Amino acid sequence: MGKGLITWLVAVLIILVMLPACGGAAELSGQAAYLMDPYSGRVFLEKDSETPLPVASVSKLMTLVLVLEAVDRGEAALTDLVTASPFAASKRGSRIWLEAGEQLPLGELVYAIAVGSANDAAVAVAEFLAGSEELFVDWMNERAKELGLTATKFVNSTGLPEEDTPPNMMSAKDVARLAQYALQVPRLMDYVSTYEYTMRADTTKIPVLWNGNKLLRRYYGVDGMKTGFTTEAGYCMVATAERDSLRLIAVTLGNKSEEERESAARELLDYGFRKYQSMELYSQGTAVSVLDCPNGNPRSVDVVLPNDFRITVERGKEMDLVTVIKLNADLQAPIAQGDTVGTITAIYQDEVLGTNTLTVAQDVQKLSLPALVYRLAQGLAQAVF
């Protein structure tokens, strides 16, 4: 074999060794990254995910959560008029050019925050709901603790850098967990999935807002959530997308450019959709076991799924799944349909892929004493004969 051919073969071998494994993800860009399934909580990729980093306007996701939770509780209405203070009107950066004393409906200001990332709108709603931005920030940090965001610290409602004050800090993991919760907040996805919105539609029609999340138009399945940028934070994004019942949350922080941010988010989502799938193990109402009730009527009853049981599984490994059913010990009648009587867990090797509750297909009434004695007598007679 000639030296030239040997050199060529060695070069090819080196290149093959340096390539990422088949089906894997290349080196993740940005300072931190996180990819998860929000329904099961499974994490597929992460990079420096627990390191607190400045997150710029990604902070506004918490602002949106608090506003829409207050609306859902009936403490505010989207039709409420919010009056802009001089402080709110003075906010720089992304804004809708609020003037001090100007009034706009709360719902319109929510669009300004979600679509245009407007700093003046964020401060205006913070003051409206809490009395001051400072009190609203206390509320943000309290909510962060309640949600288990351990590497999060907010100093304002906007993510804007302030003199002599550290920036809003979150880890990529915390951003993903906040997005995971935000999916459940009523109306929130309606706002963050909006790509274009015209402010003051009945008067000046200024400004027209365009969502910083360009993946809403450029990536199939993306329907939220929030982007951010400051010089210190770099280009940040949390995006969520759904395809074929599989939903993913992708977080990328500290990118050097808008293009790198979008590419990083695409890479995370591509990896998740390429490698994993959502699979329905059992549909709602499927009987998976039988519960014996010695003191109940009926004596035995089907154990069923109260809702669809879906899991996220790596493609090609569906046949290796194991399901484990555990019924609660010492169950006694009466048991109402809908009461939890146990759990069913899907396992691949040693990894738990998902758990669902189990209930009974019908009510189980408690037998009267005479009926219970009669049942015991019947059982004894059958045992004897």
- 135-175 per-position pLDDT tens digit: 999 999 999 999 999 999 999 999 999 888 999 999 999 99
Pairwise CA distance, residues 134 & 298, whole Å: 60
Pairwise CA distance, residues 95 & 77, whole Å: 22
Active-site pick, 29, 47, 60, 94? 60
Instruction: Provide the residue type at 142 as one letter.
Output: E
Active-site pick, 29, 59, 85, 117? 117
What is the SS3 assignment for 242?
A: strand
Pairwise CA distance, residues 193 & 176, whole Å: 17
Q: Please identify which residue in the block is written with the tokens 């943000």.
A: 140
CB neighbours of residue 254 within 10 Å: 23
Query: Is 117 marked active-site?
Result: yes
What's residue 348's pLDDT? 87
CATH superfamily of 283-384: D-Ala-D-Ala carboxypeptidase, C-terminal domain (2.60.410.10)
pLDDT band at 4 (very low <50, low <70, confident <90, very high): low
pLDDT band at 76 (very low <50, low <70, confident <90, very high): very high
CATH superfamily of 32-276: DD-peptidase/beta-lactamase superfamily (3.40.710.10)
Query: Is 59 marked active-site?
Result: no
Pairwise CA distance, residues 152 & 171, whole Å: 7
Residue 5 has pLDDT above 80, yes or no: no
Dump pLDDT digits (tens) for 224-240: 999 999 999 999 999 99
Q: The pTM is what?
A: 0.85
Query: Is 60 marked active-site?
Result: yes
- Domain layout of the chain by residue ranges: 32-276, 283-384
CB neighbours of residue 319 within 10 Å: 5
Pairwise CA distance, residues 116 & 209, whole Å: 5
Q: Are 125 and 109 in contact (CB under 8 A)?
A: yes
Active-site pick, 29, 40, 49, 57? 57
